[in-house]
Amino acid sequence: MRVLDIIHDANANLWRSKLRSFLTILAIFVGSFTIILNSAINAGVNDFMDKQIDNMGGDGYLEMMPTEMYESAMNMMGNNGPQEYTEDKDNSNASSYIKDDQIEKAKKIDGIKVFNVLPNSTADYVTSKKTDKRYRININLVVEGISFDMSNGATPNTDKNADYEIAVNEDLAKALGYENVADIVGETIQIAVPNNLKCYTATKRSECQTIVDVKVSGTQAPGILSMGGSRTNLALWNKINEINYKGMPAEMNRSYMATADVEPEKIKDIQKSLEEIGLKAMSVEDEVGMFKTFFDAILIVFNIFGGIALAAASIGIINTLFMAVQERTREIGLDKALGMSNGKVFLSFSAEAIMLGFWGSLFGIIVSYVVGQVANTVATQTFLSDFPTFKLAIFEPLTMISIALVIMFIAFLAGTLPARRASKKNPIDALRYE
C-alpha cells in the first residue's frame, strides 16, 4: 500500500465520523492554539528585548563602576544588610573612582576589544530654535564600535575629533518642535552645560551655564530601556566634561564609569576577571534580565496550560481511535484477509492519529495567527503605542512548523495504543465479528 493512499484513506476515515473527529481535533486545537500563541508572544517579546539590547549597546557591551561604589549603592538600597567598617577598604562612596592601575589591568583582559573610561559629563537642558521650552536632558556616550538601532538618520560619529553630534529620542524630537521626527536629523539644537565650580557661587543657574550647539545625527525609537536618554558622541562628551570641570583641579575630574566592547561569548569570564580587579561590570542582559525572567515565568505558566490541554487531547485521540478500531473490526479483517500486513494496519491507524494532530495544529496556527494579528493591531493602537517597534506576537514559520510536528508526533504516540490493537486483530475473528 502506498503512503499517499494511507494518508488519503486516513483523512477519508476521519470524515466518516465527522462529529467525533471534529471534537477530537477541537481538543488538540485548544492545546496547539495556546502553545502557538505563546511562542509567538515569546518571539515578539524576545525580538523586542533584542532590539532594546541593541539600543543599549548589544550583546558585547559592558558598563563598569568600582565594586565598592556598586556595593555602597546596594547598601543604600538595603540589599546587603549592615556592613562592617574596615580601615583597609575604601568605604567612602565619593572617593571611589576607576584608578589607573585598574584601567591598565582591564585593558589586558582577554576578549575586551575596546575599553573606554567615561569622564563625568552632565548637561542641564536642551532646547531648539523651534520652541521656547527647555527640557532636562540625560546624556549617555555612544561608545566606539557599537552601533544602535536608529529610527532616522545615523549613529553619532564616534571619532574623537568629529563635530559635536547627538542622537535623540523621538519623543524629545517632537517636544523640540519637530512634529515629523525625521526632520530633526541634520538640525542644530542647543544644550546648556554647567560649570561645577561657577555653579557653587552663582546666584542664578544660567550664570554658570554654557550653551553648546549640537548637530542631531539621528533619532531613536522609544524603548523601555533607553528611558529617554540622548546619546552624544565622544567629541561632545569630552567638550561637556571640559566645561563641567573648567578651573577645577584635575584630581576632582575623576571617572566613575567605564564601558567596554567585548566578545559576547566570553562576556561571563570577562565579568569575573573585572570583578577580581575591583570593577563591577553589568552586561545589558543583566539589566534586562529581571524583566525577561518575569515574562518567561508568565509564558511558562501558559505553556503548562497548553501542555495539559494537549495531554487531555491525547486521551481524546486514544478514545476516538479505540472506537474507530471497534467499529471497523470487520474492515480490518477484510483488509488483512486481502493481504494487508499488520504493519500497514498499524500505520493506517497511526496515520489517522497523525492527521488528527495535523488538523488540530493547522487550525491552531491559523486561528492563533489571526488572533495574533488582531492583538498586534490593537496593541500598537493602545497600550503599546509608545513602542512602535514592538510587535506583540511574531509568527516564525519554522517555529510554527516545528510545533505542529511535535503535536503530530504526540498524536502519533497517543495513536500507537489503538493502532496496535487494530494490527493485532485476527482476520478470521474480525470477519466473524458482527
Partner 1 sequence: MKNVLLSTRDLKKIYGKRDSKFEALKGIDLDIQTGESVAIIGKSGSGKSTLMHLLALLDQPTEGTIKLNGKVTSKLKQRRLNRLRNKEFGFVFQSFFMNSNDTVLNNVILPLKIAGVRRKERRRRAMEALKIVELEDKAKNKANDLSGGQKQRVCIARAIVNNPKVIFADEPTGNLDSATGAKIEELLFGLNRDKGITLIVVTHDEELAEKCSRQIRIADGQVVEDDKGIAKHDPSFIEDANADGMRDENHTKEIEVEEQ
Should residue 339 be labelled a site residue for partner 1 when binding is judged by CB under 8 A?
Answer: yes
Which of these segments, 52-60, 131-139, 144-152, 330-338, binds partner 1 (CB under 8 A)? 330-338
> Closest Cα partner for 175 from 137, 217, 127, 230?
127
Report the distance separating Cα 5 and Cα 393, nearest Å: 38
Measured N-to-C along each axis, helices 3-16 and 342-381 cross at an angle, to the nearest 10 degrees, of 70
| Residue carrying the nine cell digits 592601575 | 101
Rounded to a whole number of angstroms, the minimum distance from the CB of residue 357 to partner 1 is: 24
Rounded to a whole number of angstroms, the minimum distance from the CB of residue 334 to partner 1 is: 5
Should residue 338 be labelled a site residue for partner 1 when binding is judged by CB under 8 A?
Answer: yes
Report the distance separating Cα 311 and Cα 30, nearest Å: 11
Should residue 352 be labelled a site residue for partner 1 when binding is judged by CB under 8 A?
Answer: no
DSSP 338: T
Which of these segments, 43-51, 75-83, 252-260, 423-431, binds partner 1 (CB under 8 A)? 423-431
Asked if 328 contacts 56 with a C-beta cutoff of 8 angstroms, the reply is: no
Instruction: In the chain, count H helices and then E strands.
Output: 13, 12
Rounded to a whole number of angstroms, the minimum distance from the CB of residue 331 to partner 1 is: 6
Should residue 113 be labelled a site residue for partner 1 when binding is judged by CB under 8 A?
Answer: no
Should residue 331 be labelled a site residue for partner 1 when binding is judged by CB under 8 A?
Answer: yes
Residue 10 vs 168, nearer CB to partner 1: 10
Which of these segments, 125-133, 217-225, 306-314, 335-343, binds partner 1 (CB under 8 A)? 335-343
Rounded to a whole number of angstroms, the minimum distance from the CB of residue 319 to partner 1 is: 22
Which of these segments, 128-136, 260-268, 326-334, 355-363, binds partner 1 (CB under 8 A)? 326-334
> Closest Cα partner for 243 from 214, 265, 222?
214
Q: Determine whether 305 is exposed, middle or buried from the number of CB atoms within 10 Å of its CB (0-12, 13-18, 19+).
A: middle
Residue 242 vs 331, nearer CB to partner 1: 331
| Residue carrying the nine cell digits 566578545 | 263
Q: Is the dihedral of CA 76, 81, 87, 89 positive or negative?
A: negative
Among 5, 101, 110, 207, binds partner 1 (CB under 8 A): 5
Residue 237 vs 346, nearer CB to partner 1: 346
Should residue 364 be labelled a site residue for partner 1 when binding is judged by CB under 8 A?
Answer: no
How many residues are listed for the chain in this entry?
434
Rounded to a whole number of angstroms, the minimum distance from the CB of residue 352 to partner 1 is: 15
> Closest Cα partner for 426 from 346, 333, 344, 350?
333
Should residue 177 be labelled a site residue for partner 1 when binding is judged by CB under 8 A?
Answer: no
With a CB cutoff of 8 Å and minimum separation 6, the contacts of 14 are 21, 352, 355, 356, 359
CB atoms within 10 A of CB 162: 15
Among 99, 344, 420, 421, binds partner 1 (CB under 8 A): 344
Residue 215 vs 328, nearer CB to partner 1: 328
Should residue 341 be labelled a site residue for partner 1 when binding is judged by CB under 8 A?
Answer: yes
C-alpha cell at 315: 486521551
Report the distance separating Cα 356 and Cα 21, nearest Å: 7
Rounded to a whole number of angstroms, the minimum distance from the CB of residue 28 to partner 1 is: 25
| Residue carrying the nine cell digits 531613536 | 220
Residue 15 vs 383, nearer CB to partner 1: 15
The contact pattern for partner 1, residues 12-51, with x = CB under 8 A and - = no contact, is ----x-----------------------------------
Residue 215 vs 336, nearer CB to partner 1: 336
Residues that bind partner 1 (CB under 8 A): 1-2, 5, 16, 330-331, 333-342, 344, 427-428, 431
